[in-house]
Amino acid sequence: MLIKEFISETNKNQMIATLLKHYGVGRVKVKLKSMKDHAHYDVDSGVLELSTRYKTIKTRQIKEFLITIIHEINHAMDAKKYGWRKFKEMYEWEMNLQVQQGKDEYDDNKYEIKAEEFGQRGWKRWYNKFKKEGLF
């Protein structure tokens, strides 16, 4: 059914706002940006940048979308917890450590691993909640 194939922008924004508020980072701004990645939390500006590929979301993309948003929210939570400057310093130190050890600065970064696990653990709960609310 074509009507249910896409999630409305209003419903997408409602899901994002609900997640940000629930995790205590409701003041984080969200903006669409053309980028290679699905999303990125810019610690310097406090903006969650969402790929333009998420401008419209198909219902089959919900799981990936939720994991991505929750992953980036975890970075925002760390920035709030430690302060953005301290978190940026900790994150970059971890990147350098991984490079020095011959590992990947992103894939082996403990903050990325933690954020990905957070997204993987949390998506299904929100999927069920948002589906029950009729947001998709």
Cβ neighbors of 50 (< 8 A, separation 6 or more) are: 30, 31, 32, 33, 38, 39, 69
The pLDDT of 91-114, averaged and rounded, is 98
For residue 69, pLDDT over 70 is answered with yes
Residue 2 has pLDDT above 50, yes or no: no
Average pLDDT over residues 108-113: 98
Contact 84, 44 (CB under 8 A): yes
> Can you give the pLDDT at residue 91?
98
Average pLDDT, the chain: 94
The residue-averaged pLDDT of 4-17 equals 87
Query: Stretch 14-23: mean pLDDT, rounded?
Result: 97
Residue 1 confidence (pLDDT) above 80: no
CA distances from 136 to 4, 5, 61, 66 (A): 7, 9, 11, 13
pLDDT score recorded for residue 6: 79
- Please compute the mean of the pLDDT values over residues 116-135 and round it to a whole number: 97
CB burial of 58-79 (b: ≥16 within 10 Å; e: otherwise) equals eeebbeebbbbbbbbbbbbbbb
pLDDT score for 16: 97
Residues above pLDDT 90, as percent of the chain: 85
Contact assessment for residue 51 and residue 116, using Cβ atoms and an 8 Å cutoff: no
- Cα gap 112→122, rounded to integer Å: 15
Predicted local confidence at residue 4, as pLDDT:
58
Question: Is 36 or 49 the better-scoring residue by pLDDT?
Answer: 49
